[in-house]
């Protein structure tokens, strides 16, 4: 199977990267990453250094979404995989003890855990759509702008998720990738957070791009055929209507990923 001009391998890697990092951002936002043992913290390394079993599990979940799995079906598949590997229910997750509080039927999951599955499905679908260079309709509920405007954990998580989705997309299309979320310079973090604020305010991908372009130009950046951080040149510093389709797709991807995270945390 291919989407656009991309192989299944490229599609799955990009979608898995984006979905994994979105899940990591969501878990950090709801406090799941605090107080973990070293063995359990290993699971939550950035995508590039994540354990191989975790990368394989995430890629399997992406293939499930591509195959039409619903969030409930995805949980049932995860449950079966864990059961086959000897896992069981436990009130606190333990990699060493093979216990997980999510080892219950889907209908018994708390709302916060169900939202994880919805985020993954939304992010994978957004990446597949972007790499296929096609717009799609989404069924996410309207955002509560008043509640989200000052919700720091939601804004930070959405910025993390969209930055990593953009990184994964850039790698897939053969562009230079930026550093991971934990290592980005202040100006890139500010750009990501600015895009999230724009999404909260109801900006379309075109409006979000024009806002980003204005901010970059205020900081001395200008158009150039290739990205050059030292010279402050960027090939996307043009009006949205003049951008090639692959950059329209990236803008849609960032907006959709941010909306998925904001809907879950708002």
Summarize pLDDT for 131-185 with one digit per residue, the tens. Answer: 986 666 566 667 888 888 889 999 999 999 999 999 999 999 998 778 899 899 9
- pLDDT over threshold 50, residue 258: yes
Distance CA 248, CA 206 (A): 8
Query: pLDDT tens-digit profile of 90-145?
Result: 998 888 899 999 999 999 999 988 998 889 999 999 999 999 866 665 666 678 88
Taking the C-alpha atoms of residue 42 and residue 203, their distance in angstroms, rounded to an integer, is 37
Predicted confidence at residue 93, as pLDDT, reads 82
Q: Identify the band that residue 3 occupies on the pLDDT scale cut at 50, 70 and 90.
A: very low
pLDDT (tens digit per residue) in 44-77: 788 988 889 889 989 999 999 999 988 899 899 9
> Model pTM?
0.88
Token representation of residue 215: 């901010």
Residue the block writes with tokens 């449950």 = 79
CA distance 25 to 162: 10
**Span between the terminal Cα atoms of the chain, in Å:** 36
Q: Which pLDDT score, from 0 to 100, does residue 159 have?
A: 97
- 184 CB-side CA count, 13 A: 18
């Amino acid at each position: 199977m291919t989407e656009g001009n991309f192989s299944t391998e490229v599609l799955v890697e990009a979608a898995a990267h984006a979905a994994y990092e979105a899940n990591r951002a969501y878990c950090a936002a709801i406090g799941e990453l605090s107080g973990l043992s070293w063995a359990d913290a290993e699971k939550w390394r950035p995508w590039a250094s994540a354990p191989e079993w975790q990368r394989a599990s995430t890629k399997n979940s992406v293939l499930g979404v591509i195959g039409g799995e619903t969030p409930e079906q995805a949980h049932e598949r995860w449950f079966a995989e864990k059961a086959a590997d000897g896992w069981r229910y436990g009130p606190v997750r333990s990699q060493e003890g093979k216990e997980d509080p999510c080892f219950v039927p889907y209908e018994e999951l708390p709302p916060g855990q169900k939202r994880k599955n919805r985020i993954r499905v939304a992010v994978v679908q957004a990446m597949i759509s972007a790499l296929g260079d096609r717009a799609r309709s989404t069924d996410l509920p309207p955002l509560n702008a008043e509640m989200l405007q000052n919700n720091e954990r939601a804004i930070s998580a959405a910025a993390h998720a969209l930055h990593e989705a953009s990184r994964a997309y850039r790698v897939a299309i053969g562009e230079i990738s930026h550093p991971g979320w934990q290592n980005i310079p202040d100006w890139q973090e500010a750009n990501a957070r600015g895009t999230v604020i724009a999404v909260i305010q109801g900006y379309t991908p075109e409006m979000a791009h024009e806002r980003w372009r204005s901010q970059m130009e205020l900081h001395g950046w200008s158009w150039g055929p290739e990205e050059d951080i030292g010279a402050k040149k960027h090939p996307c510093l043009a009006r949205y209507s003049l951008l090639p389709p692959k950059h329209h797709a990236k803008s849609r991807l960032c907006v959709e990923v941010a909306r998925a995270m904001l809907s879950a945390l708002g």
